[in-house]
Chains A and B, each alone.
Chain A
């Protein structure tokens, strides 16, 4: 079973500030890393799928980087807005990444304070 660690567990950020949080994973046998955004009472929404070392992906004010050699990914949010409040999940495929399930971290619960 993969050990996927996310930190911090929770984060309070002032509206307008930028923030980032981390997902750590075993660097061996890496296939892909998924970031999800999960609002309460809604479905987790896919943000990024990262596959290559050094990858950097961006979606609006949210971006993510990947370092497969050292086993971490960062998620950045620039100019936080109240609608960014959610739990951000990191997940990796169990094995080959085909039809297998995902191993999730516990998530980072982000609260943006107006």
Chain B
């Protein structure tokens, strides 16, 4: 089946630093990728939608300058958390969509900001 690889699976960083999370579709082309985050005991919440070669569309309340999304190719999207702070500590997960075969998720990244 289709595989979405997400790295790293966990990361610890100091407050004020930036962290990049990668999401790759390994065996299919993803025209659309989605980024979600999940706080403890909460549901997965959509942060942004990105289409290859276009600027990402951010959900209300998600700062586009803080969460930089790049979707430069049909198999790779990255989420950069800039100047991370403890309140950005969360679980981040991507999903990749191919119109013909469907929607597939990565395994997520647990971010802890000290």
Residues of B within 8 A of A59 (CB): none
Is the pair A104, B44 in contact by a Cβ cutoff of 8 Å?
yes
Q: Which residue of A lies closest to B110 (CB)?
A: A41
* Per-residue contact bits, chain B 25-40, to A (CB 8 Å; 1 contact, 0 not): 0000001101010000
A13 interface hit (Cβ, 8 Å): no
Q: Is the CB of A99 within 8 A of B46?
A: no
Q: Does A89 contact B (CB under 8 A)?
A: yes
Interface residues of A in 67-107 (CB under 8 A from B): 89, 91, 94, 99-107
Kindly supply a per-residue 1/0 record for chain A positions 16-51, scoring 1 wherever the CB is within 8 Å of any chain B CB and 0 otherwise. Answer: 000000000000000000001000011110100000
Q: Are A99 and B97 in contact (CB under 8 A)?
A: yes
- Which of B43, B45, B104, B107 is A107 in contact with, Cβ under 8 Å? B43
Q: Among residues 73 to 101 in chain B, which have CB atoms less than 8 Å away from a CB atom of chain A?
A: 93, 97
Tell me, yes or no, whether A4 is within 8 Å of chain B by CB. Answer: yes
Q: Contact size class for A?
A: 10 to 19
- Kindly state the separation between the CA atoms of A46 and B98 in the bound complex, as whole angstroms: 14
Q: Closest Cβ of chain B: how far from A3's Cβ, in Å? A: 10
Cβ-defined contact, B103 with A46, below 8 A: yes
Q: How far is the CB of B83 from chain A (nearest CB, A)?
A: 25
Q: How far is the CA of A10 from the CA of B74 in the complex (A)?
A: 38
Q: How far is the CB of B97 from chain A (nearest CB, A)?
A: 6
- Please report the C-alpha to C-alpha distance between residue A104 and residue B42 in the assembled complex, in whole angstroms: 10
The contact sample of 27 A-B pairs, CB cut-off 8 A, is A4-B43, A36-B105, A41-B9, A41-B107, A42-B107, A43-B4, A43-B104, A43-B107, A44-B93, A44-B105, A46-B102, A89-B44, A94-B46, A99-B32, A99-B49, A99-B51, A99-B97, A101-B36, A101-B49, A102-B44, A103-B43, A103-B46, A104-B36, A104-B44, A104-B45, A106-B42, A106-B43
